[in-house]
Homo-oligomer: A and B are copies of this chain.
Amino acid sequence: MNSVNFYQGQSRFLIAVDCVILGFIGNEIKLLTFRRKIEPNQGGLSLLGGFMSDNEDIDQAASRVVKNLTGLENVYMDQVAAYGKINRDPGERVISVAYYALINIDDYKNSIIADSGAKWVNLERIDELIFDHKQMVCDAIVKLRRQAALFPIGFNLLPERFTLTQLQMLYESIYGEKLDKRNFRKKILGMGILERLDEKDKINSKRGAYYFVFNKEKYHRMLEKGFVFAI
């Protein structure tokens, strides 16, 4: 068979990326949403998305979409899945690849946001999302939970310096359940991948809570020796 003919006889499709952009705000995981600017479903609550171009990998397309909107680069992103139901986009057939992105809210505040109507919403509001975006968010959360339990990716949602209370509330928000303070601290400090600073956060308490930083280099050195992160 002639390969040129074979390839050319096939249908071609629009490919989109949709980004489940998550931030940790007010001690809760929130989702960055938009009001859709085009028909169909103009004005509907939507994930941030965009079409893939010829000159980029899918991963690059997802990064570009996040960067164009938030101004942020080097954002931690991971693919969730491909969504390909025939009528998932009522406008026209579009196959979409969903990604989740973990952004540090401090970086976000410092970045320049285009006139976008972007809005952080609680995860309880995902029922309002258009198309199959709700499914994408659910799948993203499932994947995030699994990954966050096995790899130290949660730190991407926190500022450089954070308190153990903040860190605990982050994990509580990811897992959707309360954790025991003493057990949590024992476990995370026992791993030896956090460094305590001398400075304290005096904003959230009178006594003040020590700041910690995640020691990435130490973590990677420990990885080589078979260490596995688990929280």
Interface residues of A (CB under 8 A from B): 1-3, 6-7, 10-15, 37-40, 42, 51-59, 61, 79, 81-86, 91-95, 97, 146
Please tell me which one of the listed residues B3, B13, B53, B85 contacts residue A38 in the complex, with CB atoms under 8 A apart. Answer: B3
A87 to chain B, nearest CB (A): 9
- A54 closest partner in B (C-beta): B11
> In the assembly, how many copies of this chain are there?
2
> If the complex has contacts A14-B7, A15-B95, A39-B3, are A84 and B59 also in contact, measured as CB distance less than 8 A?
yes
A209 to chain B, nearest CB (A): 36
> If the complex has contacts A58-B82, A82-B58, A82-B79, are A92 and B7 also in contact, measured as CB distance less than 8 A?
yes
- A141 CA to B182 CA in the complex, in Å? 37
- A42 CA to B1 CA in the complex, in Å? 10
- A79 CA to B97 CA in the complex, in Å? 12
Please tell me which one of the listed residues B6, B13, B55 contacts residue A13 in the complex, with CB atoms under 8 A apart. Answer: B13
- A89 CA to B213 CA in the complex, in Å? 42
B84, A1: Cβ atoms closer than 8 Å:
no
B91, A7: Cβ atoms closer than 8 Å:
yes
- CB-CB < 8 A to A52: which residues of B? 11, 13, 84, 95
- A38 CA to B3 CA in the complex, in Å? 5
- A56 CA to B95 CA in the complex, in Å? 12
B84, A81: Cβ atoms closer than 8 Å:
no
- CB-CB < 8 A to A42: which residues of B? 3
A14, B3: Cβ atoms closer than 8 Å:
no
A57, B38: Cβ atoms closer than 8 Å:
no
- A98 closest partner in B (C-beta): B82
B14, A10: Cβ atoms closer than 8 Å:
yes
